[in-house]
Structure 1
Amino acid sequence: MSQAGPDLDGKEQRIAQIPSLLTSSLRAVLDAFGSDILSLHAHGSVETNNATIIEDLREYGLSREQETHHRLTLNYEQIHGDGEPANPLTEDACEQLLSEVEAVLDAEHQTVDPDLTVTSLTVRVTDPRLQEVTPAQSPEFDLTFVADPAEPPVREPTKRRNADQGLYSELGFNLTNLNLRSVVETETKFHKQSDGRYLSWGGPEDIRPRAPDRLAIRINQHVLPDEYGILKPYTVIDDSVLELVEDDVDNIDGQSTAIDGDA
């Protein structure tokens, strides 16, 4: 949390910074995180319409139309055994997944590559710079992101950052961002000494986000891809109102990292 204090109306307020990805593209997520992905859920669909004239009745204008709906759902969970995972998202595996997406969801009217919209994502990150700003005993963390509707201040920046992929204009994606929901020290998940949760947020309806500034800043700087990563500043007022601070995101296209002096 940061910038705690009363506002002009005497209400207690603070700013919570939430790391976020201004995209929900499967292609972008696979490119950014690849084999670091522990779980990933995504879906996509396309409709095709084939119309043909019935030759024997052409003079009467009779035609036949057939609509076909194709849908793909990806529910990936990394399988762990002894040693290395059995099904990591290697470069070859990612290429195979995207090849199937192209084969099933390609449509004649599209001028962009087919894609799936990601609804949730967990990645495993090993970075001592995150450990330095938490009580963690190890540098390995699991970060979980969930798709939420893009708030008005970030709708246009989200569109611009994904413009070349045609996600919204051609593929019909909903306008969403992948917001960070939790940061958990991996080791605690196995040994259960504590919950090891150093950032937690239940989404836009959660008015009590726990997002330490230094940790949020380092995740934005060192984990999120520059092309899509931002810090979303939410104002929490009297623990009853949570709003994205519009003034702070007006120039979000120019945001790359936030600095707190030692991040």
Structure 2
Amino acid sequence: MKKQEIKKLFEKVKEQNPLVHHITNNVTINDCANATLAIGGSPVMATSVEEVEDMVKLADALVINFGTIDDATYAAMVRAGQAANNKEIPVIFDPVGVGATPFRTDRARDFLERVNVSIVRGNASEVFALVGGEASTRGVDSGILSISEIDLAHKAATELQAITVISGERDTISNGNDLVQIDNGDIWLTKITGTGCMTASLIACFAGVTEDSFSAAIAGMSVMSLAGERAKKTLQNKEGIGTYRMRLMDEIFLMDEQLWAEGVRLS
């Protein structure tokens, strides 16, 4: 298990303050920026095709999120992704809603042909669509699949040649050979907007300080799952989803290697 290697990444993020360039969706852009700050990174959200290449030159990692994709945004994503490849910094791809419409799915597959992605993070339906599968997808929610998440993670990591992170009741991460599952989390993480998008930002912060993308993916995904679990435990009677959202950000901010090592459940 990689717990010792991952523990070291928390201090590295806080020391190096990695700059994470996001081209993300308009619904969750503020959440992604705040999650990046909370864990110790620095966010930038430049989306204009005229400046994304210059911004990538300053960055330590790039997040591409398909949540509110359109033609202009897509052109900027491709240009930024290719610039990140030239600089040899990690590209974290969040295929939000892929599989729901042909436009979104076609753009995602085209993006993967034109940009070398280090880490893919999505739900099972989104990842299944990336490797040519069809699932019952409703908006950004996962549907019913004909393949287990373990098999899907291995298949996607191999075919996409990228670390694959599948969020779910048990989060599953594969590099094509090794596989880790995370047993933390809470159902309330699915009741607020942006937890998946924020997870991509957290992964990018860790990826920006190490060449070990597998450890970075485990770290970012597990921080969100553990923070969600811890936030739920702090709630008092009659405190609801609004308070939970605030407490979730608190728990991300408070997370360090000790809290993580004591609370994370990896298998």
- TM-score of the two chains, using structure 1 as the length reference: 0.25
* Greater fraction helix: 2
Which has a greater percent of strand? 1
| Structure with greater Cα Rg | 1
